Amino acid sequence: MTSGNSKNALSKREEPHLKSSHDKKNKVLIVGIGNMGSSLARGLLKSELSKFMNLQLFDHKPEALEAFSKIQHIELLTTLTPAVAARASVIILCTKPQDLATVAGLIGGKIDHKALVISILAAITTSDIAEGFRFKGAIVRAMPNIAATISEAATALCKNKVCDDNHAALAHRIFTSVGSASWTKESLMDAVTGLSGSGPAYIYMVIEALTDGGVKMGLPRPLAMELATQTVLGSAMLVQSSGLHPAILRDQVTTPGGTTISAIHELEERGLRAMLISAVETATEKSKSLR
């Protein structure tokens, strides 16, 4: 997997896809404004890409669009028509997988052949998108996670053979607006779902368990929660900023005969490592079974 955390991945050479925010051909359409769709919209509005696009948001539920109702230079849609799809330079599919057929029925065969179609739907392949939407152009499949809501998502991307370097750079730029983004092979996207897609739930359980441990030992719950949360956050940031293997960092806080080695022995004996590995495996297999 090649990494890409740079916020400046889209160079001037690659910007012609979104040259002017006043060009009707340069519209970015987000279909489905749930947690992820709304997070992508907010990320794009804060990014440099906002200078080169007109953002359109579609959701059949008007209440899903209310949070964006006072933002200028944004178009809110409760009806999705072939004409809307035909004018879009980028279409980002953020619906539930079970709603994809309905969306394809509305705009399938009507998307501009030069457009970029991006899907964040779990277990839906680029081939599924091409077939369902009768689209022979560039398609990128992305798997961000819920941390996109605070612009700290971990996203993996893959692309179809039609997707050129400019399309790929644009897709990368879109997802680095809400966190980090890395490219991988489509065959590994189920594993991505099992690791980073579902991963926040595993970490929430770790934070909850650490908090309960602190409460059991007499700490007030608010303090235990604050300490547990900051410990997880700080530890992750240290791995990221240092570039060191987690085992090396673990050894740095594990003194001979100390409290940490005793706790690590307990965690190993009770199978924490095996349980987390199995969780990723189980979620990966479940993702594969959804097709």
Mark the ranges of the chain whose per-residue pLDDT is less than 70: 1-25
Cα–Cα distance measured from residue 122 to residue 195, given in angstroms and rounded to the nearest whole number: 13
- pLDDT, tens digit, 9 for 90 and up, residues 184-242: 999 999 999 999 999 999 999 999 999 999 999 999 999 999 999 999 999 999 999 99
Cα–Cα distance measured from residue 108 to residue 176, given in angstroms and rounded to the nearest whole number: 28
Determine the residue type at 31.
V
Which CATH number is 12-186 given? Answer: 3.40.50.720
CATH topology identical between 12-186 and 197-289: no
Predicted local distance difference test score (pLDDT) of residue 16: 41
Letter string b/e over residues 129-155, b meaning 16 or more CB atoms within 10 A of that residue's CB: bbebbebebbbbbbbbbbbbbeeebbb
- pLDDT, tens digit, 9 for 90 and up, residues 180-198: 999 999 999 999 999 999 9
pTM beyond 0.85: the answer is yes
Q: Could you state, in order of their start, the residue ranges of all structural domains in the chain?
A: 12-186, 197-289
Predicted local distance difference test score (pLDDT) of residue 291: 78
CATH number for 197-289 (one of 1.10.3730.10, 3.40.50.2020, 1.10.760.10, 1.10.579.10): it is 1.10.3730.10
